[in-house]
Structure 1
Amino acid sequence: MATTSDEQAAGQHFLVCGIQDCQRNGQFYCNDCHQPMCEQCKDEHRKSPNNKNHDIVLYRQRKHQLPIEKCKLHPTKNVDIFCRECKTPLCLKCFLGKDHKGHEFDDLEEIYAEKYALWLGEFSKIQKYFLPTSEDLKTDIKEDVTEIKKIMESIRTSMKAEAESLKNLVDEVTSEKIEHSHTMEKSLLQMLKSQEATYDDYITYLGEMSAKFQKYLSTSNQKLLSSEILKLKTIPETSKPVPPVFTPGQFNRDDVAKLLGRLNVPNTEPEKRKIQPMEAVSTPMKYTEKQMEQSKEKSDMKQTLSLSSSVTKVREYRVPGVIYYACHVSVDKSGRLWISDNKGNLVQTDLQGNLLQKIQTSGISEGYHTATQDGGLIYTDRNKKVIYRITPDRKITELIKTGDSTPVSIHSSCINGDILVGMRGAKVTRYNREGKEIQNIQRHNQGQELYDYPHYITENINGDICTSDYHKHAVVVVNKSGQHRFSYSGQRSEFCPYGICTDVLGHILVCDNVSETVHLLDQDGGFLSVILSEQQGIKLPLGVCVDDENNLYVGQYSTNTVTVYKYLE
C-alpha cells in the first residue's frame, strides 16, 4: 500500500487533523509543531500569539521532522543542534557547555530538511530521469538489435540471390557449351558415317570385281584369252577426324569472389546515442506554437490551482440510452460526453444531456472508450478483438487488430497521442496514433506479472501509466518505459478499484467499489483523501473523468446520471 507518512493509520479515509479530538481532513501542516491540521484548526492555531510565526503549509509541502537521536554524551537528551566548527550534532547540554563556546551553530532540523529535500531531489532524478532515460536507451538498443537482425537477414538474402543468379549464368553458359559439343559431335559423326558409306560402296565394287575374276579364271571361260584386261579402282582415301580439345577455364576462389558482391563495414564514425538532457525531460515532444501556448496556460494554472477545502457539486446529466449503470465517462474537446453502461450501450450527449448518437458495442463494466485530441473517440470491441475509431463527423473505421489479446480498457495520450490498451491477457500495449504497436508492458524487473485484469487505464502528466486492476485489487502504476513505480491497494483490507483518471496537478483519482468512494492520490501513490463519498451524494462510483476546465465527472451504479464536481480552486 502506498502511503504518504507513517502517521497514517490503517483504515483512515484521509489525513486526520492532529489537533485534540478533531477528526477532519488534515490537508495543512505546521512545520513548527509537526502535525497535520484541518482548515478550521489552522486558523485557530494562527490566532494564538505563540503560534503567529509558525510556518503552516499544504500537507504535501511539509518539512519532514528530524528523527529522534539521543546524544552520546547525555543519553537523556535529544540531538537537535549542529556545531559548524566541530561538524557534529549536539544536544542542548552540549551547546551550553564550554567545549563549544564561541562556535557557530545551525538548527539541525533545518539541515535535515535541506538534506531530505536534496536526497528526495536525487531520488526523484533517479525515478523521473535516470531510470526512464536508461530504459529508453535499452529500448533503443533493442530496436537496434531488431534492425541489425533485419539488415543482416536482408544482406544474406541478397547474397543468396546473387549467388543464385551467378549459378544460373554458369548453368546457362555450360548448357550452351554442352549443346555446342553435341553439334560438333554430330558433324564429326556425319563425316565418319559418310566415310563408312564410301568404303561400303568400295567393298561392294570389290565383290563385283572378284566375281568377274572368278568367272574369267574358269578353264571353260574363253574370255580369258581376250585382249581386255580387268583393272581395279584404287582404295578411296579418307581423313581421320580431328577431335575437339577442351581447355579448362583459368579461375580460382578469388576470381569467383570478385564476381560476387562484397560485405564490409563502412568507414563511418558510429553515431552516439542521444541522451536527453535532464532539463528537457518535462518537454519530450516538439510542440507547435499553439501547443506551447496551451502548455504555458496549463503551467500557469498549476501554479494557481490547489485542492479545495470542500468538493462542490456543479451539475448533473441524465443520460438517455444508458441502462442502469454509468460505468465509464469520456469528455471530448467540445465538452460533449461519451458514457457507457455494462450492456454495451455507448452514447454521446451534448452539455444539456441531449442524445447525439448511440452505438451498440460488446463492452461491459470497463474503461473501453477514450476521447482523442482531434475531437473523436476510440473504443474497443472485446469480442472481435478490434479497436475502432470514430471521427468527429461520426465515421467509424477499424484502427487496430489486437490478435490473440482481448482489449478491455483504452486511453488516448494527451502527451503524444499514443494509444494505451489494457489487455485481459495480463499486459498493457502501447500503439502510436496510426495503430502501430510500439511497446508491451507485462512484467516487473524481477519477472513477476504486473497485471491480471487492467479494466481501466489512464496516463498521468509525467507519462506514468496508471491502471485499475480488478483481480489484483490494486492501482498499478508504471513509468513511460514500463518500469513498475508503485501499487496502491486502498486504505482498508478490501479494495476494488474501478474508474481511474488524473488531473493537471498529477493527482490520481480512483473509484473504490468496496467503500463506495473516490480516493485522491498524489503523483507518487501517496493517499491524500477520500474526495467523494456518500456525504457528497455519491453511491457506488464506477467511472471518473476530469475535463480541461478541471471539472470532475462521476458515473455511478444503478443510475444513468453523471454528476459533475469542482474540487480544485
Structure 2
Amino acid sequence: MVYTKLEIKDRRGDSALQSHCELCQINLCKACVGDHLSDSSIRHNVVPYKHRKSTPNVNYPKCPNHTEKHCELYCEKCDNSVCSTCISSDKHHGHKLTDILQIPSFIKEILNNDLKELEQRIFPTYEGIASDLNSEKIILEKHYEKLTTAVTKQGEEWHREINIIIVNKKKFEIDEMKTKHLAALNKKDNEIKKIISDVKQCIIDLKKILGSNDVSILTSAYKSRNTEFRSLPRKINISLPSFSSHQINRELLHQMFGSMSALFITTEEHGFTMKTLETVFCPPIKPLLHEPELITTIGTGFGPLYSVNCLSNEEIWTWGNDKIMKLYNLQGKLLKSIQTKSGNIPCDIAVTSSGDLVYTDYSTRTVNIVKNDQIQEVIRLQGWKPYYICSTSSGDLLVIMDSDNYTQSKVVRYSGSTEKQTIQFDSEDKSLFSSGFNTQSTKYISENRNLDICVADNRAGAVVVVNQAGKLRFRYTGHPSTNKGTFNPVGITTDSQSQILISDYNNHCIHILDHDGQFLSYVDNCDLPCGLCVDTRDNLFVAEYLSGKVKKIRYM
C-alpha cells in the first residue's frame, strides 16, 4: 500500500507508515517497501518515516494526465514531469527519473553563472569600453587639429603659389607686351620725325632757290621729293591686349586643393555575445550521457552518403554521390527527390530557417534555392567556386569558396544575393583557412548559438572558430582520448547548448566541444561518420559515408 506525501495518515494511522521514499516523496508501509524497490531503473532513497526530510513548501505542477495528482518527479527520457501514478504505469518503465526539486537548482546555477559573468566579465568589459571611448575622444581632438593645420598650410602654400606663379607671371607678360608695344611706336615715331625733318629741309631749300636770281641754281640745284613725301608711311596698328578673368570652377578647385578620405563609422563584435533574458528562463543545462544511445537507423540508398540536414524533427534531407537530393522521414520512407538544375552533383546542401533547401553547384559556380520544388539561382560567382554552405539564425547564407587557382579560401556571408561580409585573414593578415586542391581540401561550416562561425578544415586537420565579426577565437586539432589516427574533420554542427560536434572520419567518432573549444566527450558508435545535424531536441543525426545510413543518436 502506497501513501502520497499529501496524505497525513493512512486508514490504519501514522503507526503504519514505517518508511518514506525521498526521491518519489511517497510514504510506504512495511509491506510495500519491497515492491517499491523492485524497479532497479529508479534510484529510490527509502528512509525510516521518522527520519524523512520535511516536505518543502513547493507549488508542484499538476499532472496533465491525472488531475488529482501533483508531479513530483521529472522523466529525463520523455522530457516532462510525472506524478506517482504515471510512475506506476509501464510508460516510464526503465526511464531515468529525477526529483523535480532538483530542477530549480539548475536554474539557480544558470543565474549564478550569469551573475558571475556580469560581475567578472561583462561589467569590467563595458567599463573598459567606456575608458577606451574617452581615450579615443582625446585622440580625436588631436587628429582633427592636425587635419585643420594641414588644410591651413595648404591654403598658405596656394596663396604663395598664386602670387608667385600666377599673378607675377601675368604681370611679367603685361610688362613684356608693353615694352614691345612702346618699341614699335618709338620706331614709327623716329621714322615720322626724320620725314618731317626732310620736309622742312626741302622747304628751306626751295625758299632759298626762289630768292636767288642765279640761273644755274634755278636750273640744276633742286631735285623735287614731293612725290616721295606724298606716299605716306604705313600706319602702325597695334591691338591693345586685354585680360579676361575666368569663372572659378569651385568643384575643380576643391579637387586640385586636396581631398579628404571618407569618414566611416562601423561597429564590430567585441568577441562575445550578450545573453538575453530568455537565457535565464531556458531549460536546465542538459548533461552529456556517459553512453550515447542509438535511437534509430535510416537507410538512404546512397553509397557513399555525404550529408544530412534536418528539415524538422521528423524529416531529413540527404545527399550522396548523385545529382539527386532526397527527403526521408524517420521511418525511412522517401518523401521527395530533387534533381539539380544543371544535372551536376551538388557540393553541399543546407536547409534555411524558412525550410527551403539550398545547394551549391561547383561546376556552374552557383548557389541555388529550391522553393515549391522550383530551383532558383541565388548567387553566381566569378573567379571563385562555392563549396560548403550553411544557413544562419538570421537567415543569411555562409558560403565557403576557393579561388579558381586554389591559392585562396574564404567564407562569405550573403543576405539573399548581396555580399555582406568576407572572412579570410587573421589579425596578422595570415589566411585563416588552408588552400590548395586535393581530395582532402574540403571544409565544412556551421553557425553556433553564440553566433560563432565554425569551420572544419579537413586539409589543415583542424576546426577553426571565429566570432561574428570574423576574428579568430580558437583552433581545435583533436584530443588524445580519440586519436587512434590523424584527426580528420569531415562534418560539423552545433546544438542548443552552443556545443560543437565534429565528425572524425579516421577515428570513427564524433568530438563534442564546449563553445570555448574545450573537449567534453565523444560519440564512438559510428562507422566512417561524415555529415552531421542536430534537431530541435538535440538529437544527433550522423551520415555514415560507406553504409549510406543515417543514425539518430541521443547524446544528452
Q: TM (normalized to structure 1)?
A: 0.49
